[in-house]
Structure 1
């Protein structure tokens, strides 16, 4: 759909040259992390091992019961293994964190099982390479997961995307260079390899060698580097992204209150895109009025855009830019959240819901607020008085 020659976006732009196209920021983040692992053989193997661990316990209530009993013997917290999908690599954070925190109970359950699956898992799990990769991914994917949740917020706009992304990029870069995170795996194993080819970790014997250590560190380092490269490519200020950055800059209070090259570049970009030669002069008048009269209420880009809309008769070019910035969606999260609510409400047992009832239930689920604050007595009274009822 976004082909450079005959894609749908290009055909639409031929009809409307000022049309802007953007990609959901949450999907871009997921693709950046997923594609970073696709070209690395060990991480693909690691993904299969994590899936095998999940299926081993999910398909057997007996195995799950044994695992929970072993976990409760060590601590009161039980972090369950989660299902993983190749197209949703960010969900790995919960999976690898469960492996790291439940490693000893996991090994004890597998060691006691005499079936066919457990010995196969025991060949790959109690190794330095597997445990090191689990801890590194738990640290890196936690940072990406925090960013993903931020991108899924209903209040996020284009002006806050860059700042959130810079923080995450800095953390991923630090973890990649230091090869050590909060999970502190390297501090729990010996610094050098024993002649026996084994090391002890949390009271469990794991296979260890100098080759495994080098390969593990190299694989994790490459993953971190490729994540950073993919993030830079997918969130680069080129094409329509550069134009959107310009729209954000002229309405973002953190940018327009300071005169300088950044603001001038944003004004130039927006003027060229809209083809409005008088935009700069009109915008500077609008900017001066906002700084002088509305500095207290103009605390984000949305409020500045609303101020422009209130003065649409005075600043036509600025209002046009404000409309464009407000109508461009940052992500498709709200749409997909609606589909998820739809699937939760309209199940096989409720397939006869009419359209209006279904619509009201979805609105209540999405916008109704916390259920404990709902006034059921008032709702019952209104329902009772709508018509004569036998109660």
Structure 2
């Protein structure tokens, strides 16, 4: 008998599927293994070290019997029943032993806990919010009113949000990574990591995790990235990596040892893109801040901020004067911030809106000498600039330039921005700046009309003469040329990189020719460049590159060009949502997906760090990195409170419990 068992080759019996419907077969290293489908759906509840979670080739019915009776499997089955029908018998404690009112109570408590975590408030706020609701007549029972209860609820909420996201991520064969670092309130260096992948046919950035940096070097950053993907269960992440996005710091993009260089040693096809929005900021600062007049304008704006931010008396006087003049005013703003362009544009807009009130108050400050010497000195400088025609011309010119650049910056910071969209926005910006050589911008045009007689808001301007206008026109051309040249220099990769150029033209139907003869050959060389560069990752993802180039691409061109112009702009999203298109163009759409997930901006990382500042404050400086990660995920990726499915989370929480829950 022993010899027979040694020689016997066991196989999976089809009849087992009837007795054990949860068992599935998957190939592991080209050999079939048994898995528990239900346990795989609920990794936070399942036994991750168990055979049916990792896979087993021991085809014995006794193995199936043992797993079906295991404690973790029973909990996963209960969770599955709760997910399928939250009001069914899968929740024996609350939904069968308690009444519907008790169900409503626990749902309200879970929603309250979600509100606390979504808005970044500490768990200690939870009891007072419960008390407030009870004061307003909301029935919330007597149990689970402590901050520890809120903490437990938060962990269940995280699991409910995280598990489907992780399943989605693991199913993706292609994605890009965005990374940036920041220091939290406890002076820890943290690496924030996002992934960019397709969701419903459109590229989106998703917060993945934060990890503490052990050293702020390229090696340290790469180690943090590896630790993040190891933590979430994707150690083979580099096999799916298409692009890497960062803010352009030397430690990230350095050619001799930056993170992107180290990654490219393992991922030769990697596309490294410096954040376009950050590059725009640098280009604008290089061109505008280098001008001596701009430095004076910047000093003026900083002086105005100091004048009214640090002196309540000056701000009261300015408001009182605005009431007398019957004009609403905005408080002068600071120039600091993550994004310099919107801040300085807002400061200039505020200055020109408040012009008559600010000038009147500054002149009054000088005449009455009712302030400190520093404030009087700032007032004199301010009056000197605000009453000078040539300087005001420069101010409104810069305002027009910054408005155009700010619009581009906001477009580049959008999560769903794609390569064609970014290039089109960049080219539109260059066109608008070039047109300013001969046509005045909106702010300059308004100023010229209102100051045609040498007065602005009934205030006589100095240097109002033809010489000032001629000098300004020369300065305007020079400044515009410098801005345009700086932008082209910073964004030269969009025009010179053959991979990015090929990718942009390939997926943008607006770039396709309309003549049949030209359309027939269009894109073949671009597609060849892309498929050759990404050959390894495409082959690993199961893409038939030859099929994509020779059969699917010509067919796709015919289908797309036959569509109305309005539909062509979102054609790829429609293709990914259409099962018939997915079946007709599986290989081509894999190439398109690869292009769409290229990372163009790290604005998402900066928004994540803003959320971190809201969550990890001085009062929560001891918050562990793991807890911070989970709270950040809820805050960033969780739905609005109005859309939160508390019933589903309650079902999960009750099903995972090892003893009766009380309300």
Structure 1 segment 221-232 matched on structure 2, within 5 A: 221-232=477-488
Counterpart CA distance in 2 for 1:169 and 1:243 is: 22
Counterpart CA distance in 2 for 1:203 and 1:263 is: 60
Q: 1:177 Cα shift?
A: 2.6
Summarize deviations over 1:187-239 as a string: whole Å, max 9, x none. 22246xxxxxxx42112233215454444443333222211112222223568
1:28 corresponds to which of 273, 279, 285: 279
Inter-CA distance 272–290: structure 2 relative to 1 (3 Å threshold): closer
1:286 corresponds to which of 545, 552, 558: 552
Summarize deviations over 1:319-369 as a string: whole Å, max 9, x none. 664454244211111111101111122111233445565445433432345
Decide which moves more: 222-231 or 305-314. 305-314
Q: 1:241 Cα shift?
A: 3.4
Inter-CA distance 58–241: structure 2 relative to 1 (3 Å threshold): farther
Structure 1 segment 156-235 matched on structure 2, within 5 A: 156-183=417-444, 184-190=446-452, 199-210=454-465, 211-235=467-491
Partner of 1:196: none
Partner of 2:527: 267
Counterpart CA distance in 1 for 2:512 and 2:341 is: 38
2:412 is aligned with 1:151: yes
Counterpart CA distance in 2 for 1:149 and 1:140 is: 15
Inter-CA distance 261–90: structure 2 relative to 1 (3 Å threshold): farther
Summarize deviations over 1:14-36 as a string: whole Å, max 9, x none. 66543322111111211121111
Whether the 8 Å contact between 1:99 and 1:134 is mirrored in structure 2 is: no
Partner of 2:351: 99
Q: 1:103 Cα shift?
A: 0.4
Counterpart CA distance in 2 for 1:155 and 1:65 is: 44
Counterpart CA distance in 2 for 1:313 and 1:265 is: 19
What is the number of residues matched between the two proteins?
Answer: 378
Structure 1 segment 64-79 matched on structure 2, within 5 A: 64-74=315-325, 77-79=328-330
Counterpart CA distance in 2 for 1:271 and 1:108 is: 66
Counterpart CA distance in 1 for 2:333 and 2:615 is: 23
| Secondary structure in 2 matching 1:339 | helix
Decide which moves more: 47-56 or 202-211. 202-211
Whether the 8 Å contact between 2:305 and 2:332 is mirrored in structure 1 is: yes
Inter-CA distance 313–364: structure 2 relative to 1 (3 Å threshold): same
More helix by share: 1
1:130 corresponds to which of 379, 391, 394: 391
Whether the 8 Å contact between 1:271 and 1:280 is mirrored in structure 2 is: no
Q: 1:157 Cα shift?
A: 1.1
CA RMSD of aligned residues (A): 3.9
Counterpart CA distance in 1 for 2:265 and 2:653 is: 58
Inter-CA distance 30–105: structure 2 relative to 1 (3 Å threshold): same
Inter-CA distance 288–377: structure 2 relative to 1 (3 Å threshold): closer
Partner of 2:333: 82
Structure 1 segment 267-346 matched on structure 2, within 5 A: 267-271=527-531, 273-274=533-534, 279=545, 282-290=548-556, 299-301=570-572, 315=587, 318=588, 321-322=591-592, 324-346=594-616
- Per the normalisation by structure 1, the TM-score is 0.80
Inter-CA distance 71–6: structure 2 relative to 1 (3 Å threshold): same
Inter-CA distance 38–366: structure 2 relative to 1 (3 Å threshold): same
Partner of 2:211: none
Q: 1:76 Cα shift?
A: 5.8
Summarize deviations over 1:292-312 as a string: whole Å, max 9, x none. 678879834455578899569
| Secondary structure in 2 matching 1:176 | coil
Partner of 1:195: none
- Per the normalisation by structure 2, the TM-score is 0.50
Counterpart CA distance in 2 for 1:307 and 1:329 is: 25
Inter-CA distance 383–17: structure 2 relative to 1 (3 Å threshold): closer
Inter-CA distance 160–12: structure 2 relative to 1 (3 Å threshold): same
Gaps of 5+ in 2: 1-249, 537-543
Counterpart CA distance in 1 for 2:265 and 2:621 is: 44
Whether the 8 Å contact between 1:100 and 1:131 is mirrored in structure 2 is: no
Summarize deviations over 1:109-143 as a string: whole Å, max 9, x none. 11111232322432333211332122122222112
Counterpart CA distance in 2 for 1:5 and 1:271 is: 27
More strand by share: 2
1:141 corresponds to which of 386, 392, 402: 402
Inter-CA distance 290–283: structure 2 relative to 1 (3 Å threshold): same
Counterpart CA distance in 1 for 2:646 and 2:495 is: 55
Structure 1 segment 33-72 matched on structure 2, within 5 A: 33-72=284-323
Whether the 8 Å contact between 1:159 and 1:301 is mirrored in structure 2 is: no
Gaps of 5+ in 1: 192-198
Counterpart CA distance in 1 for 2:457 and 2:628 is: 52
Whether the 8 Å contact between 1:3 and 1:9 is mirrored in structure 2 is: yes
Whether the 8 Å contact between 1:159 and 1:252 is mirrored in structure 2 is: yes
Whether the 8 Å contact between 1:312 and 1:319 is mirrored in structure 2 is: no
2:662 is aligned with 1:388: yes
* Structure ranking higher on relative contact order (CA contacts 8 Å, 6+ apart): 2
Counterpart CA distance in 2 for 1:352 and 1:3 is: 34
Counterpart CA distance in 1 for 2:620 and 2:600 is: 33
Inter-CA distance 182–44: structure 2 relative to 1 (3 Å threshold): closer
